Amino acid sequence: MRTEEKIITRSRNRHKRLDAFQRILLLLVICLTTLLGSIIWTMPENPPGLADAVALMQEHSGVKSPVTAVLLNFRGYDTLLEVMVLLLAVIGAWSLAKAHFPQQEREANPVQMGVVRLLVPLMFLVAAYLVWQGSHLAGGAFQGGAILGAAGVLMLVTELPCLRAIPAHPLRIGLVLGPLIFVGVALFCLFLTGDLLGYPEETAGWLILLIEAGCAISIGLTLASLFAGGHPEDERPKNQEQAKGPCKGERP
């Protein structure tokens, strides 16, 4: 007990005082920040940019929001790779550890359960709405996916018993769904127009919505899986397919 206290106080002291190396580092960081700040200060007022060019091509993109047009149409290839980066994060995390769930099941607090039951369906609805409105206002796959991920995190911290029974394979399918749809649409466009992700102008809006819906689901699952912190229980596929669905409507 005493040694623990000692360690705690020592670490506190260490937080207060900086050694020589840290001081030099701090000084260097301050110098660098000042230098970069002064360079930004001297830059011209109205920087050149691509906003005008994007506005000019907006009507050919199939969506009304310039952000979505850039993300999914003009620079859709970037977004395809970004979605892969998110998937990679999950693969990396799964390769390192198994998801940790507490040994014995706890009876969830009724208030907490009430909040979860109230919020989670609402969050699903908001996520769907965000994906839908991405075509003309702020929103889209990443925002919708973030809300879905938050719903997943909420269920995880409530330690719903059904979550630990989620088999690996359906989860994998969910994680890969968005990237697969994205690649599929990209190749479909390649066959149609000769350009990867070169949407035909009249169907561009619908294809973008399809990609966004798939990616939102995958991004939501990605974030929740990262929070869970590792691969699910049954890595080897067995014949105990337990659907994810029933547990959400489960009543105590």
Partner 1 sequence: MTAFQLAAPAWMIVPIILPLIAGLFCFLFNRRIFAIALTAALANLLGVCILIYQLLFFGPMRCHMGGWQTPIGITLRTDGPALLMLLTTAITGLAVTLYARGYFSYRILNPRHAARHQQQQRYFWPLWMLLLTGLNGLFLSNDIFNLYVTLELIAISAASLAALSGKPASQLAAFRYLLVSLLGSLTYLLGVVFLYRSCGVLDLDLLQNLMQNAPGIRAALALMSIGLLLKTALFPLHFWLPPAHANALAPVSVILSALVVKGSFYLLFRFWFEVFTPIITTSALNFMGTLGAIAIVWGAIQAMRQPRLKLMVAYSTVSQLGYLFIAFPLTRIDGNIHIWGIVIFMAMAHACAKSAMFMVAGTVFLHLGHDRIKDLNGIRANLPITVFAYGIAGVSLMGLPPSGGFIAKWLLLSSALTSSQWWWALVIIVGSLLAMIYVFRVMSHFFVIPEDYAFTKPTPVSPLMEWPALALALISLLLGLAASWPLYILAQGNVVLAQIFPGGLP
The answer to whether the beta carbons of residues 215 and 208 sit under 8 Å apart is: no
Which of 1, 20, 40, 111 binds partner 1 (CB under 8 A)? It is 40
The answer to whether the beta carbons of residues 86 and 93 sit under 8 Å apart is: no
3-state secondary structure of 231: strand
The answer to whether the beta carbons of residues 220 and 152 sit under 8 Å apart is: yes
Nearer to partner 1, 50 or 125 (CB): 50
- Alpha-carbon span 237 to 172, nearest angstrom: 12
The number of helix segments (H) and strand segments (E) in the chain equals 9, 0
Q: What minimum distance in Å lies between the beta carbon of 134 and partner 1?
A: 18
Which of 105, 206, 237, 238 binds partner 1 (CB under 8 A)? It is 237
- Alpha-carbon span 235 to 169, nearest angstrom: 8
Q: Is 74 a binder of partner 1 (CB under 8 A)?
A: yes
Q: Judged by CB under 8 A, how many residues of this single chain contact partner 1?
A: 55
Q: Is 39 a binder of partner 1 (CB under 8 A)?
A: yes
Neighbours of 216 (CB within 10 A): 27
Residue 9-38 contact track with partner 1, rule CB under 8 A, x = bound: --------------------------xx--
Residues, the chain: 252
Which of 126, 151, 186, 209 binds partner 1 (CB under 8 A)? It is 186
The answer to whether the beta carbons of residues 157 and 221 sit under 8 Å apart is: no
Piece of the chain touching partner 1 by CB under 8 A; list 118-126, 150-158, 208-216, 229-237: 229-237
Piece of the chain touching partner 1 by CB under 8 A; list 9-17, 23-31, 50-58, 107-115: 50-58
- Alpha-carbon span 92 to 238, nearest angstrom: 23
Residues 95-124 that bind partner 1 (CB under 8 A): 95-96
Residue 187-216 contact track with partner 1, rule CB under 8 A, x = bound: x-xxx-xxxxxxx-----------------
Q: What minimum distance in Å lies between the beta carbon of 117 and partner 1?
A: 32
Nearer to partner 1, 10 or 60 (CB): 60
The CA-atom distances, in angstroms, between 218 and each of 4, 43, 65, 104, 153 are 43, 41, 22, 30, 14
- Of 151, 159, 156, 135, give the one whose Cα is nearest residue 212: 135
Residues that bind partner 1 (CB under 8 A): 35-36, 39-40, 42-43, 47-50, 53-54, 57, 70, 73-78, 81-82, 84-85, 87-89, 91-92, 94-96, 169, 172-173, 175-176, 179-180, 183, 186-187, 189-191, 193-199, 235-237
